[in-house]
Amino acid sequence: MTTPYLLDTNAYFLFFQNPKPSFYNLLENKLTQGGIVSFYVSEITCMEIHSVIGKYRRGEPKQNFPCDRNFDNKGQVEKCHNTCVFPGREKLKPRIYRDLKKLVEDIEAQRGLIQATTIPLDSLSIRESRKLLMRNADSYKFGSLDALIAGSVVATKQVYGLDLTLVTLDRGLRAMLSHEGIPYLDPASL
């Protein structure tokens, strides 16, 4: 039986991240039943994870930008003259990228010791997502994809009576979930 946790994309990505964050083992233990790590993901998360892994495959060049921020220096606004440095990220090697794609495929096909059950993105999930955005977009920092994931939690409870807890590291999303009374878990707080 799958544990009643639905992972958003940033929580799902923890399985592919190297090195793993310090709280990873605690999350894995929470999701483990009978030696299998099991959880739910929204169909939108299944799509979005490929975007995230692709971003790491492409890498990011190191960049230097002149800082254009203004700051207050004892009542006088002055322009910053520092340079912002973004360290970039090396491209994933083709073999590692291929292996990560295969791992995603295996997890979502429920082959192996990590198994995800996909919650379909249906019209009810979309309607619930829209309601969440309309009620909360002006107060909390979360986007449309976050709303679709949260809407999937709400719709799954309505249709199947399944009480899912959304696992997310996203502070803005957690604030909205708290306001709406939708159960959530911050894996970094385990």
How far from 136 is each of 1, 8, 179, CA to CA, in Å? 33, 18, 9
Evaluate if pTM is beyond 0.85.
yes
| pLDDT beyond 80 at 2 | no
Tokens 């709280």 sit on residue: 23
- pLDDT tens per residue, range 62-94: 999 888 888 887 878 888 888 989 899 999 999
Of 37-51, 72-86, 102-116, give the lowest mean pLDDT range: 72-86
CB 107 within 8 A of CB 16: no
Q: Using CB atoms within 10 A of its CB, is residue 151 exposed (0-12), middle (13-18) or buried (19+)?
A: buried
- pLDDT tens per residue, range 119-175: 999 999 999 999 999 999 999 999 999 999 999 999 999 999 999 999 999 999 999
